[in-house]
Amino acid sequence: MTASDSTATELRHFLEIDDLSASELQTVLERAETYKRAQHAGEDHEDLEGQTLGMIFQKPSTRTRVSFETGMTQLGGHAVFLGEDDIQLGHGEPLKDTARTLSRYVDAVMARVFKHDNIEVLAEYASVPIVNGLTDDAHPCQTLADLLTIREQQGGFEDVSVAWVGDGNNVAQSFAVGAALTDLDLTVATPEGYAIDDDVLERARDLGGDPTITTDPTEAVADADIIYTDVWISMGQEDERDVRMNDFQGFQVNADLLSHAPDASVMHCLPAHRGEEITDAVVESDHSIVFDQAENRLHAQKALLSWLLE
């Protein structure tokens, strides 16, 4: 398929994790496992030969850029990096014009931007699939990798308990919905004022999820199979540092917290601010599966792209 042929097939975007149904999500995760086995065995899997992914980056990233670019190469395709200074992203050219122009050149677009509205505008006007590489509201590609990691580590999702400890940020919000899609038992512990948005929790509940909400991290991790955390100060929140560092006291994932869940594995989407939301000792411990999680960004995104473009 070329960019000009894309309108002949059903156009699908991936802006939120629940843009996939529960069964579609399982299909993508199964495909990711297949790709991972193929790569580790040195087997070719060039399912997107000759296709091009445009990658828009308003926010910089290590894992997102390298995993998508490497993934397209391994699938036999090509990726084009488009930084904020490389294109007129909302500066001098409307986003809707960027979407329509790129649709004439590439087979799909991945965009990592600040405002969620921007990814929605791209999707509204594009005639190729748009993939949300991150917005301030959601990080569904991370959730794909998270779920792949849990599926591998736990042998599935049945009777698996996950505790989110920290900020109810974009990663937490996408994960909460992803947990509902896979029937994970989720407990979310955030300080007062940092909870996951009510509308996100409602979406999770509409999908059959029933996340437990608390402000007590010790309560949250009791009997957890997985403890998941992320930074307390995200990109663009640097001016809130002093307030946040005070508000998140007691929410660090450290040896003391792990003593309440001694068999739990620990996840972090990275980059980690070691010594803040998580200690160096925990990241480097046998509890940590953060680098398996990071690797799985590659396999999950390859599966997503091939599913969207097939």
Query: What CATH number does the domain containing 249 carry?
Result: 3.40.50.1370
Whether 270 is covered by a domain: the verdict is yes
Find residue 165's DSSP bridge partners: 189
Catalytic residue among 230, 287, 299, 301: 230
262 and 305 in a single domain? The answer is: no
95 and 151 in a single domain? The answer is: no
Give the helix ranges, DSSP H, for 54-169: 63-74, 95-103, 116-125, 140-154
**11, 107 contact by CB (below 8 A):** no
* Catalytic-residue membership of 297: yes
60 and 153 in a single domain? The answer is: no
pLDDT for position 87: 79
pTM of the model: 0.95
How many Cβ atoms are within 10 Å of 35's Cβ, its own excluded? 23
305 and 289 in a single domain? The answer is: no
Q: What is the dihedral of CA 213, 216, 219, 220, to 10 degrees?
A: 50
173 and 32 in a single domain? The answer is: no
Whether 101 is covered by a domain: the verdict is yes
Whether 229 is covered by a domain: the verdict is yes
Catalytic residue among 13, 31, 65, 112: 112
Whether 6 is covered by a domain: the verdict is no
pLDDT for position 9: 61
pLDDT for position 236: 77
Q: What phi and psi, each to the nearest 5 degrees, are found at residue 276?
A: -105, -90
110 and 157 in a single domain? The answer is: no
Task: Tell whether residue 269 is among the known ligand binding residues.
Answer: yes
238 and 130 in a single domain? The answer is: no
Whether 98 is covered by a domain: the verdict is yes
* Catalytic-residue membership of 260: no
Domain of 21? 13-139+297-309
Residue in this structure with the two tokens 């999770």, named with its chain if needed: 204
286 and 147 in a single domain? The answer is: yes
125 and 223 in a single domain? The answer is: no
For the chain, what is the domain count? Answer: 2
Task: Tell whether residue 139 is among the known ligand binding residues.
Answer: yes
Q: What is the pLDDT along the chain (310 residues), one digit of tens a residue?
A: 344 444 446 899 999 999 999 999 999 999 999 999 999 999 999 999 999 999 999 988 999 999 999 999 999 999 999 998 787 675 678 899 999 999 999 999 999 999 999 999 999 999 999 999 999 999 999 999 999 999 999 999 999 999 999 999 999 999 999 999 999 999 999 999 999 999 999 999 999 999 999 999 999 999 999 999 999 998 778 889 999 999 999 999 999 999 999 999 999 999 999 999 999 999 999 999 999 999 999 999 999 999 999 8
107 and 64 in a single domain? The answer is: yes
Catalytic residue among 13, 31, 65, 139: 139
**9, 308 contact by CB (below 8 A):** no
* Catalytic-residue membership of 137: no
Q: Lay out the sheet containing 52-57: strands in order across.
A: 78-83, 52-57, 108-112, 130-134
* Catalytic-residue membership of 37: no
Whether 8 is covered by a domain: the verdict is no
Give the pair of three-digit tokens for residue 255.
């040896």
30 and 48 in a single domain? The answer is: yes
189 and 224 in a single domain? The answer is: yes
Whether 3 is covered by a domain: the verdict is no
